[in-house]
Structure 1
Amino acid sequence: MTAPPFAGLTTFANLPYVHCLAPGGEVVPPFDIAFLGAPFDTATTGRPGARFGPNGVRAGSRRMEARTGWSVYTGENPFLDWATVVDCGDVPLTFLDNTVALRQLTSAHKVVSARRTAAGKTPRIITLGGDHTTTLPALRSTVRHWGPVSVIHFDSHIDTWDPKVLAGGGLSHYAGVNHGTFLHIAHEEGLVANSSIHAGIRAPIMRPRGDVRNDERCGFAMVKARDIDRVGVAGVVSALRKRVNGTNVYISVDIDVLDPAFAPATGTAEPGGWSTRELLAVLDGLSGLEIVGADVVEVAPIYDNPGETTVLAAAEVALALLTLMVQTPIG
């Protein structure tokens, strides 16, 4: 007998576990795409709990597996295509010092991305967060291999706030690195191309003109949540594709881009968001883009309901990101 998909050790979509962070000298089998957990939530400005997000997303993916992975929409199965896909487990991170934890996560990304595919190329990583600050180490690692990237940022918040504004008026550098400032910092470090774009924005801003000006300075255009009512899914997809056309792309999905009706389990929920179906349709519309990295973040399972609404949605988002990567092999 084979074990049912809800039994046994839990990896994303029942993928094989590989110790990608094994010390030098240990043989690590080659892989093309890796899921990597980032259990970190001590840079949140709202509710904590996203440190349990990686395993929450994995739990939401328990019914996914290769033999039942055929899409009714595309007829494709990303698990049985050309790519070797693995789950690397979680990065061991301290929960007592954000600065150290983010250095640990940066190092882990460097180790995993330095592994080779069977063809000797750089593998791609899908990070399971963790609060949104975890995207910063992922971008640092991605740029080492691919250069500055266009970021498609699905979120209800802009996350480009100047640390001097969001972190208590410049209280400290430590306080300034958080899940609302990481894209500002990424811009300052030269990680983000000026062809980046937000999608699903609806949360209030702190300075009516200053925040938007700074956001544009950081290289971002904006698709607001209610734009989908005016232009539809096709219009949103067109705006995203036009903005990042011809560039390497990093897709970051904060689960709070969804309305709390579809994703209550997140740190900073904002009413008026997209449905799960709308988000998945937008993601499917990005087929063919050269996606070099991705993440799903801000899943805080403690706030979910007995039906596991949020973790199920997050798992589907992660599957959509995997599918996009498999659809476009890149070297």
Structure 2
Amino acid sequence: MSSLTESTAWSGTSSDPADEQFGDIVERADLESADAYDAVLVGEPYDGAVISRPGAAEGPSAIREALATVKTHHFDAGAVESVADLGDVEVPAGSVAEVQDAIRSVTETVHELDALPVFLGGDNSVTVPNVAPLLEDASVGVLNVDAHLDVREVRDGPTSGTPYRQLGEAGLDAYACIGARHFETSSVYHDYVRENGGTVVTAEEVADDVVAAVDRALSGLGSVDRLYCSVDIDVLDATYCGCSAPTPGGLLPRELFRLVRLVGSDERIAGFELVECAPSLDAQGRTVDAAARTVAHFLSGWSS
């Protein structure tokens, strides 16, 4: 069984006292005090399941550092408030399956809180323990904001490419992927999604009309009671994307920001995650900055 490490103290960086930043409003908390907040951050520093290049284990600390400097005000929704940081999950040594089980021992408790969990990955394998506790008492759908479908078969053990196959076999009720790229997924995996009633919305469709693309993705999840949103940062175009598998043809940051704000406003939201941000693979901090602002935009949409 894993536990949470104590979070570090947050502070803003602006010399102007009028500049309220996330560093000024995010407070340290533990599981006992977390219910006093609307949303809680949980870091998951693990990248032992990546198929290609590691680096996502450094994501949680880098995203926090970048988020601390982001101002809290959104022009439409006002300021984000009431956010706490619960620290990082202590990730044990072991196989990917063992790590997923250990992380789940923490996420089960986090999901019991009144506060909305916002998980900072880590590679995409952490999606399994982040979502699995929700399957126990409700119909659940996942919106996977991703360049890839991540429904590979589990052969020699789970990987960052298998989370939605694992969750489907565990009882996930609905699945939609938005931001998927042509020529990034094998036909057999697209067929698997279609045969199991899933929805795929491409990056081209997002570029044509973000609102319509989100509506189509959510319509495929219309039958579920609870909705979980996962953002794999590789959904961004390679120009902005320091991650395990960057490719051209992806979303622009402003498209992703609007997308997650729209999704965040759905009343069924039960959790959010941002995965695969790898600071060591980043160029000039572009990806980390985009990841932090994605979290901010989601919280703005959810709290408005």
Q: Answer yes or no: same fold by TM over 0.5.
A: yes
Return the index of the structure with the highest Cα Rg. Answer: 1
Q: Which runs of 5+ in 2 are unaligned?
A: 1-9, 15-20
The answer to whether residue 228 in structure 2 is matched with residue 241 in structure 1 is no
2: CA distance between counterparts of 1:222 and 1:152? 10
Does the 8 A contact of 1:12 with 1:87 survive in 2?
A: no
1: CA distance between counterparts of 2:257 and 2:298? 10
Q: Which moved more, 1:213-222 or 1:295-304?
A: 213-222
Equivalent residues, number:
285
Deviation at 1:148, TM superposition (A): 2.9
Query: Aligned residue for 1:167?
Result: none
2: CA distance between counterparts of 1:130 and 1:206? 22
Paired residue for 2:41, among 35, 40, 44?
Answer: 35
Does the 8 A contact of 1:78 with 1:322 survive in 2?
A: yes
2: CA distance between counterparts of 1:60 and 1:261? 19
Matches within 5 A, 1:152-301: 152-163=143-154, 170=155, 172=156, 175=157, 177-190=158-171, 192-194=172-174, 196-202=175-181, 204=183, 207-208=186-187, 210-229=188-207, 231-245=208-222, 247=224, 248-263=226-241, 265-286=242-263, 287-301=265-279
The answer to whether residue 301 in structure 2 is matched with residue 324 in structure 1 is yes
Residues 1:237 and 1:47: Cα distance change in structure 2 (over 3 Å): same
2: CA distance between counterparts of 1:12 and 1:133? 28
Letter in 2 for 1:70: H
Question: Where in structure 1 do 4 or more consecutive aligned residues deviate above 6 Å?
Answer: none
Give the TM-score normalised by the residue count of structure 2.
Answer: 0.86
Residues 1:313 and 1:222: Cα distance change in structure 2 (over 3 Å): same
Does the 8 A contact of 2:74 with 2:300 survive in 1?
A: no
Q: Which runs of 5+ in 1 are unaligned?
A: 21-26, 116-121, 164-169
1:92-112 deviation line (CA, Å, top 9, x unaligned): 002443232211110111122
The answer to whether residue 78 in structure 2 is matched with residue 76 in structure 1 is yes
Secondary structure of the 2:251 match is coil
Letter in 2 for 1:33: A
1:95-140 deviation line (CA, Å, top 9, x unaligned): 443232211110111122234xxxxxx3321100000010100111
Give the TM-score normalised by the residue count of structure 1.
Answer: 0.79
Does the 8 A contact of 1:266 with 1:298 survive in 2?
A: yes
2: CA distance between counterparts of 1:151 and 1:302? 28
2: CA distance between counterparts of 1:178 and 1:312? 26
